[in-house]
């Protein structure tokens, strides 16, 4: 079961770091200093996620691919939360009202961050969705950019990064 969900996460995250390239952030570089506040008021920054593996998911309510990834990402987040895995789902600039209406119909199991409540969007110039950035337990960007056709590359990155699993 764990392998299944890891592969689902890999599929959900095969666009890993595409946004990092646009921002000029290279793999194995420290995660830039960030701040994020969730819809429920929880605050995150580099210090608060220290020692955790963090998946940043840039998504939108209108994105059919994001909706397709939602169950897999949420399931993996729940399954590995006790191992220090955290997903921060950063909405792509939609209003709080729009996001809350979507969440009322399609609840998420991960913290939701609006673009206006974080500097992550400025760091990772997401231009298509979903986009994923994986940060390892050492606080470093975990891998080179990969695309949907390079799932094996993502799997190798996950195995060689300090993911703590």
Question: 133-157, pLDDT tens digit by residue?
Answer: 888 999 998 854 333 333 344 445 5
∠ CA 136-139-141, nearest 5°, is 60
Q: What is the mean pLDDT of residues 68-84?
A: 87
pLDDT of residue 41: 97
Q: Are 141 and 163 in contact (CB under 8 A)?
A: no
pLDDT at 14 (0 to 100) = 39
pLDDT tens, position by position, 18-54: 333 344 566 678 999 999 999 999 999 999 999 999 9
CA atoms within 13 A on the CB side of 68: 9
Predicted model pTM: 0.77
Q: Which domains are delineated in the chain?
A: 2-160 (3.40.30.10)
């Amino acid at each position: 079961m764990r392998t299944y969900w890891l592969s689902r996460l890999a599929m959900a995250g095969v666009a890993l770091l595409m946004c990092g390239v646009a921002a000029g952030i290279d793999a194995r570089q420290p995660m830039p200093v960030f701040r994020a506040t969730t819809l429920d008021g929880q605050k995150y920054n580099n210090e608060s996620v220290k020692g955790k593996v963090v998946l940043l998911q840039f998504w939108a309510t209108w994105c059919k691919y994001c909706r397709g990834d939602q169950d897999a990402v949420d399931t993996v987040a729940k399954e590995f939360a006790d191992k220090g895995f955290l997903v921060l789902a950063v909405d792509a600039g939609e209003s709080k009202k729009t996001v809350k209406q979507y969440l009322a119909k399609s609840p998420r199991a991960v913290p939701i961050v609006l673009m206006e409540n974080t500097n992550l969007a400025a760091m990772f110039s997401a231009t298509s969705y979903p986009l994923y950035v994986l940060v390892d337990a050492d606080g470093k960007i975990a891998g080179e950019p990969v695309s949907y056709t390079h799932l094996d590359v993502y799997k190798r990155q996950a195995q060689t990064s300090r993911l703590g699993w």
